[in-house]
Amino acid sequence: MEHIIIPDAPREIESADRIYPPEYEGHFSRLLIKREEIIERATDLAKAIHNDYKGKRPVLLCVLKGAASFYLHLLEALQDLRQGFYTEFLRLSSYEGAETSGTVKARGGLHYQDLTGKDVLIVEDMIDTGTTLSHLIPVLKKEANPKSVEVCTLLTKRLQTPAKCEAKYVGFSIPNQFVIGYGLDYNELYRDLKDIWVISQKGIDFDPHKLHG
């Protein structure tokens, strides 16, 4: 299925009605994708996944933490379609601040035998360089020997250099800007936003230690 392209130029999209924690005031340069658009797109992706896996029970492998919100809505949409599935979770990281580090760090456990002989669908928040998946997929194939491995991602970022890995199911293609919200973070902040925003310089410069709790 074709992905939805979010243009480089700012969209005419109303942001005054969006809600977010008051400590984030001024931390966004613009609203990129509304929550309602995301949920609608998750429903569309679920229909495509259901068509491909009808009669099967794929393992939906959520890459934490960023994909958690998207994963939840994707599962709900699949449930509405009466699609069976298994759930697994893995925490990886290839980001340090606003830049991709180029290396992948595993921070969560996964029992590879739970994937052996099964159809695995990796659920990601975003693919930009593809570094994370280009490391993860060969490891899964070697250690788990699944029946198949595919990728579903909410976002792909348009870069000059092609990504090292592509997804079969894509929600939105977005400009090469650092985005936050709906599970996406900057130094562990902004995951609690309902929508997806482009971070502002104030947001980048903000010291998280100023927050309480």
Is beta strand 99-106 parallel, antiparallel or unpaired with respect to 4-5? unpaired
Cα–Cα distance for residue pair 74/58, rounded to 1 Å: 13
Residue 168, preceding peptide bond in cis (omega within 30° of 0): no
Q: Show the 3-state SS of 156-175.
A: EECCCCCCCCCCCEEEEEEC
Between CA 114 and CA 211 the distance in angstroms is 40
17 is catalytic: no
Instruction: Say which of 128, 185, 195, 207 is annotated catalytic.
Output: 128
Neighbour-count burial for 40-75, b at 16+ CB within 10 Å, e otherwise: ebbbebbbebbeebeeeebbbbbbbbbbbbbbebbb
The residues annotated with a catalytic role in the active site are: 128
